[in-house]
Structure 1
Amino acid sequence: MISTSQQLQQFLDNCTKIDGQKICAIDTEADSLHRYKESLCLIQFTAGGECVLIDPLAIEDLSPLDHYLMDATVWMHGADYDMTMLKREFERLPKTVYDTQIGARLLGVKKFGLGNLVEHYFDIVLSKSSQKADWGKRPLSEKMIDYALNDVRYLLEMGDMIVAGLKEKGRYDWFTESCETAQSKVAERDDAKDEQWRISGSGKLDSYGLAFLRGLWNWRDKEAEAWDRPSFMVAPNRQLIEWSIALSEGRRVDLPNHFRSDRVKRYKEMLATIEAMPKEEWPARPVIKRRKRDREFDEKVDSLISTRNKTAEDLDIDGSLIASRAVIEMIAANEASPEDLLMNWQRQLLNL
């Protein structure tokens, strides 16, 4: 476990000297299942033949890692989450990030979780025993340490195998473009979204129901923050939708018996505020533009789907890698150009 900035700098200097180039693999662990505000709790890192754990909870200055990553080739698996964590920590991303999951899928591997790939390439079965562990606690158990190190132990060798397979099949350019696109999406994503309370299922609510949903969301958020627990531990999203429907229909919703009296009191105060709210302050339902479906549209969709499926079958890859149905329908409806929605290699396979 590297727990000081000096140790971190020394280790990274040695890695560069051993390899002569900067190639590493990274994974991260956070405490989103245990705290209100997610924190980066652990960084698993391998380079120069060594696997180590870096402790961001103990290290005041992680800038040596930031500087190292900026001109390194960084391998990850299912990189979206880990890139998001690095972006929050360093406010930027490494220039080159390769994702073993993307590469394996482009090779036609059907089961592409990290454990699946380690078993596929190395015939080793990894333990899943610490998947939901509290990574914010110290010290880490030996079981947690082994689990964490295994998240990066095989990535560099696996990456070499995947690259060799991609080059053999002539798909390496697809891989690099796909990784660059995934990286750009994370870099451009706005984490401070407005109206986060508009969760899945909110589309079925009328304006009055949306007013209750917004109130419930904000009440839950404050309760979770005061408790320092994830919001789903107060009430899951599904329950917020169910309560909003019931309340908008005039039905009474009582909180579970185990809720503390002060939490119930704040809940009732929130309901009273919503019930007294003027209609003009209720949230508006989003305006959904209905797509015009006609024979020409259907024929274009069918043609593109047919081309995609035939091509995917020939390549032995998942058709959604080439284009999802939603994207195909947007192109058929002229709602966006193929250049805006698809990568170069995807457009070529679809003859667009």
Structure 2
Amino acid sequence: MVATSTRRRPQLRDFDPPPPLPTSKSLAPHHAPPPSVPLCRAVRGLPRFPASPPPQLSHPPAPVPNSPRAPLVPGQERHDGLEGSMRALTKDKAAAPGTKLKVPFHDPSIPRPQDVYKISVDNYKPFKHFCLEHSKDGTRPVHPLEKLPVEQLIDRNVSESESVKPADLEDTPFTLVEDLRGLKELSKKLKTVTEFAVGLEHNQYRSFQGLTCLMQISTRTEDFIVDTLKLHIHIGLYLQKHFIDPAKRKVMHGADRDIMWLQRDFHIYLCNLFDTGQASRVLQMESNGLEQLLQHFCGVAAKTEYNNADWRARPLPDEMIKYAREGTHYLLYIYDMMRQRLQRESNSENDLLLEVYKHSNEIRLQLYEKEVLTDKCYLHIYGYAVPSAPHKWRDGIARQEDESTGYILSDKTLLEIAKQIPSDAGHLKRMVNSKYPFVESHLDEIVHNIKNALEYSHLYEGISEELKKQRLEQSASRCGEAREEMAPLDADIDRSNPGLTDQSTEAFPSSANVNVASDSGSGIMSAKASGDPIQATELLLTKECTSFELLTIKCELLEKIAKETELKFEAKRLCEVEDEKIKFLEYKLNEAKKELERIKDVKLELEKVTRKTADLIQQNNKLRKQLQDHKGHSMRHPRRYRPN
């Protein structure tokens, strides 16, 4: 199993929402570049922060609306909200020296990139690797370079003199790629190199599948940061050929999740990958995180507080850009140092460099699969069985609204709802405590689902008692039949060996008990393995079972009932959709009628103009005729018209 890197940020979809952002008194504005500066530019390093604290805001930031998704104010642009949100990510003036800067992982004032940049997603259909060919049987997609031997990718020509530490960030050319022209220039530069370092910054909390927010690329002489939100549809078109080229080495750290993000968002597949995280494990270093590697090899102290920052924000503060650059700026140098050490510690029996490439190759051959909701997903949340109705509602809303399940409703709160079972919307609203806007807008629906589940769950007590009686009767009848069958044999044994009478009479009842006990133990496992909840319930009721086992079986029974309820709600939803379609068609029909009336009015006006034009033509013809008659008369009597 490939271990994940500590550089990668944890899944945030199951966290509770963050506390409110600090007030404007502790926030510093971000100094954006003047409008005259082009979007994509190469600069020499980054400006350093001034020694004096930044000026205070003259007015507090606009309040965040208490709604699932507030609409835009007429005349307001989306990017204004993005710029204003950056005030929450700049350095806190009140932070004490030596303490870590608290960077919120979620800024609710940032508009969703899916809406701002028109990023379309599909959270229902399975993911299709349309760029890949499929196997002969058509069951799975095949990686384009799946059969390429790993040995052909290893570069063993390395010497101590090649390891040259890169220049500081301030002395290295840097390009922020935000438009198509800059992306084309980056593609041209990658065409001329044989190796480059890659890193990604991701956001998981405000999207169901997640969104890649930034791509960092570093060569030996230059750094690039690509805004993958603005250039979402163009990334794969211009960069895919460089990533899949086996002649170009890609150096990454903890690439197991980056590989999936590249495939999901840009249909980019990698070849010739060297993962420094895998190399640190093979070398058995004290820590495998990128921050520790930067400190060990380069003496650079990266700010780990930006690991979970909200990378959707635009424009990015200088500190976040610096952190993103550090993720790839020194990576090629770390690759050189690790490769030298791997070769030094290798021998004829243990090729460490080959081992690293094999682990890296296993990572890059992974293929992305979309998360699918199964009938038993809710049974594995924190190892506790919970009702399926709230869980399935959460998953459906998250897919529909393209939000993470943690943003809709965290697992912790979902478990609390399952334990307390709110009886009305007010009780449920007090439980969520205004943390989950989508829950507050669907309180009645959630309570209705829970009540339906509870209503059907009362039937479980009677069914369980009846099943228990039937099972005990069947067990008793089987035991009686077994005793009757063994009675003639007992008589024969008694006649042949009178000394064994007492032993036999004691042995048969105990054997019968053993049979029942084994049927109640191993039979449960076989029934569960076969996927028959009714049979498993019958077997559980014949022995002293724990409340957790009964609760698990109860949830499995409720699951079937919940499916029927879900079908009813699905039918209701379809009816609502049809009603919306009908309303839309009626609206279109009214619009068509209005358009028809307008066409009729235009037609009447056109007829009036036509008649008026005809009258003008007739008058024109009369005037022409009169003019011709006048000319003919003057020619016949020229003296009458001769001037004096």
CA displacement at 1:245 relative to structure 2: 5.1
Matched, 1:238 2:412: yes
- With over 3 angstroms needed to count, the CA separation of the structure-2 counterparts of 1:199 and 1:167, relative to structure 1, is farther
List per-residue Cα deviations over 1:96-142 (Å, max 9, x = no partner). Answer: 22110100111011211110111111122111232222212211111
Q: Which has the larger radius of gyration?
A: 2
Residue in structure 1 matching 2:226, options 50, 54, 78: 54
Provide the C-alpha distance between the structure 2 equivalents of 1:97 and 1:154, rounded to a whole number of angstroms.
Answer: 17
> Which residue of the partner structure matches residue 149 of structure 1?
325
CA drift at 1:26: 1.0
Counterpart contact for 1:34–1:134, Cα < 8 Å: no
Counterpart contact for 1:30–1:135, Cα < 8 Å: yes
CA distance in 1, matches of 2:185, 2:412: 48
Pairing partner for 1:87 from 263, 270, 282:
263
Kept in 2: contact 1:9–1:65 (CA 8 A): no
Match of 2:295 among 119, 123, 134: 119
Contact 1:5 1:64 in 2 (8 A): no
**What SS does the corresponding residue of 1:129 show, helix, strand or coil?**
helix
Map 1:7-18 → 2, pairs under 5 A: 7-17=182-192
Query: Which letter maps to 1:231?
Result: T
- Alignment partner of 1:271 is 2:450: yes
Equivalent of 2:358 in 155, 169, 177: 177
Residue 182 of structure 1 and its aligned partner are, at CA, apart by 2.1
Count residues in correspondence: 271
Query: Which string of whole-angstrom CA distances, capped at 9 and with x for unpartnered residues, describes residues 132-165 of structure 1?
Result: 2221221111111111111111111101111111
Does the 8 Å contact 1:102/1:175 carry over to 2?
yes
TM-score by length of 2: 0.39
Q: Deviations over 1:265-306 (max 9, x none)?
A: 1210221332355889xxxx99469xxxxxxxxxxxxxxxxx
Q: CA deviation at 1:174?
A: 0.9
1:200-219 to structure 2, matched below 5 A, reads 200-201=380-381, 203-205=383-385, 209=386, 212=387, 214-219=388-393
| Residue type at the aligned position of 1:129 | E
Q: In the TM superposition, what is the alpha-carbon distance from 1:220 to its structure 2 partner?
A: 2.3
C-alpha spacing 1:265/1:56, structure 2 compared with 1 (3 Å) = same
After TM superposition, the structure 1 = structure 2 runs for residues 62-77 of structure 1, keeping only pairs within 5 Å, are: 62=235, 63-71=237-245, 72-77=248-253
Mapping of 1:165-314 within 5 angstroms? 165-170=341-346, 171-184=352-365, 186-187=366-367, 189-195=368-374, 197-198=377-378, 200-201=380-381, 203-205=383-385, 209=386, 212=387, 214-224=388-398, 229-244=403-418, 247=421, 254=428, 255-258=431-434, 261-276=440-455, 287=528
Structure 1 residue 42, shift from structure 2 partner: 0.9
Post-superposition CA distance 1:228-260 (Å, at most 9, x none): 65322343223434543555xxxxx84334266
Q: Which amino acid aligns with 1:270?
A: N
Structure 2 residues without counterparts, runs of 5 or longer: 1-175, 347-351, 422-426, 461-524, 531-644
| Ranges of 4+ aligned residues in structure 1 off by more than 6 Å | none
Q: Deviations over 1:4-60 (max 9, x none)?
A: 23322222322433x3x2x11111112213444521111111124211101122224
The whole-number CA distance in structure 2 between the counterparts of 1:102 and 1:142 is 30
Residue 183 of structure 1 aligns with an amino acid whose one-letter code is R
Secondary structure of the 2:450 match is: helix
The residue aligned with 2:213 is: 41
Deviation sequence 1:177-210 (CA, Å, 0-9, x none): 11111222x22x53333428346446543xxx4x
What is the root-mean-square deviation in Å for CA atoms of aligned residues? 3.1
User: What is the identity, as a one-letter code, of the residue corresponding to 1:16?
Assistant: K
**Percent identical across equivalent pairs?**
20
Match of 2:306, SS state, is: coil
2:283: which partner in 1? 107
CA–CA separation in structure 2 for the residues paired with 1:239 and 1:142: 37
Q: Tell me the residue number matched to 1:24.
A: 196
**Residue 222 (structure 1) shift:** 4.4
- Measured at CA, do residues 194 and 230 of structure 1 come closer, stay the same or move farther in structure 2, by a change above 3 Å? closer
Corresponding position of 2:130 = none
Contact 1:26–1:74 under 8 Å retained in 2:
yes
Which residue matches 1:295? Answer: none
Residue aligning to 1:97: 273
Q: Which amino acid aligns with 1:191?
A: K
Tell me the SS of whatever aligns to 2:293: helix
Instruction: Provide the residue aligned with 1:138 in structure 2.
Output: 314
Rounded Cα–Cα distance in structure 2 between residues aligned with 1:167 and 1:228? 47
